[in-house]
Amino acid sequence: MYDVEEIRRDFPILDRRIDGKKLVYLDNAATSQKPRRVIQALTEYYEEHNANIHRGVHRLAEEATAAYEEARRKMARFLSAPDVRGLIFTRGTTEAINLVAHAWGRKFLREGDEIVLTEAEHHSNLVPWQLAARATGAKLRFIPILDDGTLDMEAAERLIGPRTRLVGCIHASNVLATINPVERLAELAHEAGALMLVDGAQSAPHLPVSVEALGCDFYACSGHKMLGPTGVGVLWGKPEVLEDMDPFLGGGEMIREVHLDHSTWNDLPYKFEAGTMNVAQAVGLGAAVDYLDELGMENVREHERRLGEYAYRRLSEIEGITLYGPSSDRTGLVSFSLPDVHPHDLSQLLDEEGVAIRSGHHCAQPLMRRLGVAATARASFYLYNTEEEVDALVGALQRAREFFGAFA
């Protein structure tokens, strides 16, 4: 049984009050809160096991290494990754995609090659490819979105062709709440002889994910959005693809042999983990994955689906509101705007009621241009949010509307 009140008790921060008001935390797409178990895993690691990994033979070094490698196995299982060698720890989604754009892009892209992305990408899956294109002469092409925020798949079929070397796409949108047909995009990419990269920053925390079922070659996600600490995330890649790539960063641990004039590379995944990694954070992410596994990602998805639907319906009752993205098949977030109110002013007013939402371009400026706005407000839900919190949001928005209406 999914008992949201019991779940909430695992998250100490949810008891916080903001100027005497109960915190209503609805900025989970930016970062999630952490259960006590994750916080304790970090404390326990530092109090009892802390050492550098893969280097020492003393007891602490062995314990720290075992804890780090156990976290890797947990994360690989969580993503149904067939081979743990393909699971690379990074600082997060951004670093994971930069790794691919450098280590694969700089090596394999040539003038005239094409990278196909979508109009709805987060800057993390756009700017690294702009840099790679500039360095190699490759070109970027973009799959448009339809007016309801879903991808124009007919255009995708036309755009992905013999010049395509890589297709990159967000699995779930941090603005539109769409869940993109990345399995189909992977098929199209592979038919064209290209690779498929999935930005999973907004899917790994919220949906059951199997990289095998998605059929992708790369999948990137961030620990801090899925109950884990900041500073750790994951790139999963097919080992045979990763083997062919150049290293990303050079330094300790990623080498096999170093001579004054050249070096050879360590085995996967260590070839891509240069220097001392975020060991404690990886261990914390392992604890987060345990927590999510125990809840069951199907149950998390169902809770958020229902809450997202409820929020969409309640918000659409507000006079004059614009809701972005499709009306069904959504993840648990809603972007919106109110007439004559800047989203920043709105979120500031909501903050005074203890309601935390995000406003801005959500690191998706091209998408904002496509939507014809500079910014939106966004409420994003997670496994511990409740219908009462949606009601609190709607009530606060109604009051904000009246407040700003008085000046219109």
Of the two residues 64 and 103, which places its CB atom closer to ligand C6P in the complex?
103
CA atoms within 13 A on the CB side of 279: 24
Of the candidates 169, 216, 221, 363, the residue annotated as catalytic is 363
* One residue of 282, 362, 367, 396 binding ligand C6P per CB under 6 A: 362
* CA atoms of 53 and 40, how far apart (whole Å): 20
Of the two residues 202 and 347, which places its CB atom closer to ligand C6P in the complex?
202
* One residue of 102, 238, 358, 401 binding ligand C6P per CB under 6 A: 358
* One residue of 72, 85, 102, 122 binding ligand C6P per CB under 6 A: 122
* One residue of 164, 174, 347, 376 binding ligand C6P per CB under 6 A: 174
Taking contact as CB under 6 A, which single stretch among the options 103-111, 197-205, 259-267, 300-308 is the one that binds ligand C6P? 197-205
* One residue of 4, 18, 30, 131 binding ligand C6P per CB under 6 A: 30
* CA atoms of 271 and 229, how far apart (whole Å): 24
Minimum CB separation of residue 122 from ligand C6P in Å reads: 4
Active site residue 169: no
Tell me the backbone φ, ψ of residue 288, rounded to 5 degrees.
Answer: -65, -40
Tell me the backbone φ, ψ of residue 312, rounded to 5 degrees.
Answer: -60, -45
SS3 content of the chain, % helix, strand, coil (to 5): 45, 20, 40
Site for ligand C6P in 198-257 (CB under 6 A): 199, 201-202, 222
Question: CA dihedral in degrees (267, 285, 102, 257; nearest 10)?
Answer: -30
Could you tell me how many residues of this chain bind ligand C6P (CB under 6 A)? Answer: 16
Give the CA radius of gyration of the chain.
22
* One residue of 32, 94, 281, 359 binding ligand C6P per CB under 6 A: 94
Minimum CB separation of residue 380 from ligand C6P in Å reads: 7
* CA atoms of 203 and 170, how far apart (whole Å): 9
Of the two residues 116 and 192, which places its CB atom closer to ligand C6P in the complex?
116
* CA atoms of 315 and 385, how far apart (whole Å): 16
Burial status of residue 177 (CB atoms within 10 A of its CB: 0-12, 13-18, 19 or more): buried
**Residues annotated as part of the active site:** 363
Q: Which spans of this chain sit near ligand C6P (rule: CB under 6 A)?
A: 29-30, 92-94, 122, 124, 170, 174, 199, 201-202, 222, 358, 362-363
